Amino acid sequence: MGSEATDNEAALPLSGLRVLDLTQLLPGPYASLVLADFGAEVVKLEARGIGDPARMLPPFVPDGRHGVVFEALNRNKRSVAIDLKSEGGRELLARLLERADVLLEGFRPGVLARLGFGLEELARRYPRLIVCSVTGYGQRGPLASRAGHDIDYLAVSGALSLIGERDGPPVLPAFQIADAAGAWQAVTGILLALRARERTGRGQHVDVSLTDAAFALMPMQLAQAAAGEPVRRGRGPLGGEHPGYRVYRTADGEAIAVGALEPKFWERVCRAIGREDLVGLSAALYGGLPPHELERAHAELEALFAGRTRAAWQAVFEAIDACVEPVRELDEAIESEHVEQRGLLVESAGARVPLPGPRLSETPARARRAAPAHGADTEELLAELGYSPEQRARLRREGVVD
C-alpha cells in the first residue's frame, strides 16, 4: 500500500501506519490529516468523477487545481479514484484492506455492509484491522439513519441552546464545532485501538458520533444539569452573568473579552478601569449577589468599555496580567505573532493552511507533500498491489478506476 518511507517520514511517530480513508468534506479528512501529518500513510479512496466535493469549494490554490479547503484537509495523502459499486472496485478495496491497519469511513450505518464489507465480515477477514466509523448520530440509536450537518448535531446535543445572549435566540457558530470535535475523537479512538491491538493482536470498531462529540465538549454543564441545576443560555458565571466573564463592545464597534473570574484578576481589572468600588462583584461567581446588582454593574461596565476603542483598552491591559484580551477578527489572528511563532500555519501548494495537532518536541507534525490531484496515485497503488499493466488498463476501460 505504499512505497518505502523517506528518512524524514520514518522519524515521525506514526510512520508505517497504513490508513484507508473513505471519507469526504470535513470530519473524516480532518482526522486522517492529523494521522498523515504525524507520518501515517493515508490513501484517500474517492469516487470516480469529481471525488471529494471539498475539491470544488472556493477559493482555489494558486494553480487552480482544487480549493484551499481541500488542500488544508488532504495534504500528505495519496488519492485513488474508484467505483466501489463495481465488482472490480470491491476487489481492489479488499486487496487494499489486506495491507491496511485502519479503515476510516463516513458512510451512513449499513452502507458498508451493502457493499459487502460489514463490520462482522471485516472482523472475520481482517482480524487486525481497526475500523473507525464517523457518522452524525452513531451506529445505533433512534437517529442513526438520519442525515445531518454540524448545526443539527449541535442542536440535538444541546450545545446550540447555550450559544448566544440570554434574551436572544441561539446563535449559529461560524465554524464547525461538532465536525472538528468528532475528528479529534476519531484520532483518539484510532490511537487507543492501536494501543489495545499491541496487547491483544486484534482490531476493533471505533464508533464516532458527531453529536456525541459535541455533547462531550460540555463536561461542566452536563454535570450541573445532571445534578438538577438548570443550565441556560446567557446564565451562570460562565454564561455571562458574571461581570468579569463577558464580551464588551468598544467605541469603534470592536470588542474586548474579559475573563477575570478569579478575585485577584477581577481586582486588577477594576483598578485598571478606575472602578475599585466593583471589586466585591467577584462574589457573583458563587451566587453571592442579587440579580439587580449584577444588572446594574453590567450596564455601567458596558458604558465604560464603550467609551474607548479596542486599541485603547488593549494598551491599558497589555502590561496587566488580568485575563483581558482584544477580540480579533480571524484575519488578524492569522497575521498575529502568536500564530507565527507557534507555527500554526504552513505553506502547501502555494497556500497557507493550518497545521493542527499538538507540538511534539522530537517528532513534530510535518507538511511533506501537497494534496493529491483526483486519482493521482491510482496507477502507482495498483502496481504496488501487483496489478499488471494489462490488468490496470482493463480496470480503466471498465470504469472501475480513473
List the catalytic residues: 149, 179
Angstrom distance (rounded) from CA 109 to CA 106: 9
Closest CA relative to residue 68, chosen from 388, 377, 330, 370: 370
CB 56 within 8 A of CB 211: no
Angstrom distance (rounded) from CA 192 to CA 208: 13
